[in-house]
Amino acid sequence: MAATATSTERAVKTVIGGGPRPRNGNGFHKNGGGDDTPFQFSPARYRIGIWMAIGSILMLFVALTSAYIVRSASSDDWHRIAMPKVLWLSTALLVMSSVTIELSRRSLKSHNESGYGLWLANTVVLGIAFVVSQMFAWRQLVRQGAYLASNPYNSFFYLFTGAHGVHVMGGLIALGYLVIRTRGPRTSVDAELRRLGAADAVTIYWHFMDVLWIGLFMLLTFWK
């Protein structure tokens, strides 16, 4: 404060810049000469959010995978079971669903609403089929007498497929939400942007579920 207006030049410039301003206003007009731009929705939000979620889910599976690797080397009670063949069907279903959801995203981008809804519905069906197929794999193992606690390999098998399955079901709920959102009027630009963002995020998540499953399947098949 001591340095205020010690020269004319400075004083003039200060006035041009608005000069010392009162500090006890109502708080809503301190934009320093800015305009009254309202808050806007930035579509990157859902994208960032889903990548963060993927990062944390990945850390969960990194932790479990490290446990798998450590445990497989720490004793001689590790016995592999014969992989249920139906897992290959599961894998095919999930890869196909990844293709259909990508088609639905592209339909949405080119404003093809009916194509979007159609491919979305296909993805939901394939996703449910994947979960059912995984349950068949579990049933097959139970019939063979391979339970959760029979052997550490089995424990991890059920754990990985179960944890992945839970995340797929979360994805199915999100897909269901998108399907519901295909109906109803398009009210505001903001709501429409949010719908596009959500579709984008669910697609990314669904691809991640696909890649994650392939990784887990390969781990369970090829690692010890």
Partner 1 sequence: MAEATHTEVHRHPAPTGFIRKYIFSIDHKVIGIQYIMLALSAVAVGMIMSVLMRVNLSWPGTHIKILETLFPQGAPGGVMTPEFYLSLVTMHGTIMVFFVLTTAPQGGFGNYFLPIQIGADDMAFPTLNMLSFWVTFVGFIVILLAIFAEGNATIGGWFSKLGDSFAGGSGTVGPIGGWTGYPPLSALGKIAGPGQGAGVNLWVISIAIFCVGSLLGALNFITTLLNMRTRGMTLMRMPLTCWAWFTTAILALLSFPVLLGGGILLLLDRIAGTSFFIPGGLYVSGSLVPLHNGGSPLLWQHLFWFFGHPEVYIAILPGMGATSHILSTFARKPVFGYRAMVFAIFAIGMLGFFVWGHHMFMSGMSPYSAVAFSVLTLSIGVPSAIKTFNWIGTLWGARIRFTTPMLFSIGFVSLFVAGGITGLVLGQSSLDFFFHDTYFVTAHFHLVMGVASIFGMFAATYFWFPKMFGRMMNEGIGKIHFWITFLGVYAIFVPFHAMGLLGMPRRYAQFTEYEFLKNSHSLVLFVTVAAIITVVAQVLFYFNFFWSIFKGAPAGENPWEATTLEWGIPSPPPHDNFAGIMPTVYHGPYEFSVPGAPNDFIMQTDGENIVADHGGGNGGNGHKH
Q: 47 near 197, Cβ under 8 Å? A: yes
- Please identify, using beta-carbon distances, which residue of 13 and 139 lies nearer to partner 1: 13
Let me know the angle formed at the C-alpha of 209 by 144 and 197, rounded to the nearest 5 degrees.
155
Asked whether the CA dihedral 181, 183, 184, 185 is positive or negative, the reply is positive
CA distances from 75 to 65, 70, 219 (A): 17, 9, 19
Interface pick for partner 1 out of 20, 85, 113, 176 (rule CB under 8 A): 20
Signed CA dihedral, 182, 184, 186, 192: sign only? negative
| Residue 110 is a binding residue for partner 1 (CB under 8 A) | no
Interface with partner 1, residue 185, by CB under 8 A = no
Among 174, 193, 204, 214, binds partner 1 (CB under 8 A): 193
Question: How far, in Å, CA of 130 to CA of 119, rounded?
Answer: 16
Site for partner 1 in 60-79 (CB under 8 A): 60-64, 66-67, 70-71, 74-78
Binding status of residue 173 toward partner 1 by CB under 8 A: no
Which of 81-89, 94-102, 148-156, 215-223 is the region at the interface with partner 1 (rule: CB under 8 A)?
A: 148-156
Query: How far, in Å, CA of 68 to CA of 62, rounded?
Result: 10
- The residue behind tokens 């207006």 is 5
**Residue 180 touching partner 1 (CB under 8 A):** no
Instruction: Tell me how many residues contact partner 1 (CB under 8 A).
Output: 68
122 binds partner 1 per the rule CB under 8 A: no
CA–CA distance, 213 with 185 (Å, rounded to integer): 37
Choose, by CB under 8 A, the member of 113, 169, 192, 221 that binds partner 1.
192
Residues 6+ apart with CB under 8 A from 151: 77, 78, 79, 81
Given the structure tokens 């999100």, which residue do they identify? 174
Nearer to partner 1, 45 or 128 (CB): 45
Pattern 35-54, binding to partner 1, x per CB under 8 A?
-xxxxxxxxxx--xx--xx-
Nearer to partner 1, 93 or 141 (CB): 141
Residue 44, CA distances (Å) to 73, 112, 182, 204 in order: 43, 22, 21, 13
Of positions 135, 163, 174, 204, contacts partner 1 by CB under 8 A: 163
Residues forming contacts to partner 1 in the complex (CB under 8 A) are: 1, 3-4, 7, 9-10, 13-14, 16-21, 23-24, 26-28, 30-34, 36-45, 48-49, 52-53, 55-57, 59-64, 66-67, 70-71, 74-78, 148-149, 152, 155, 159, 163, 188-190, 192-193, 196
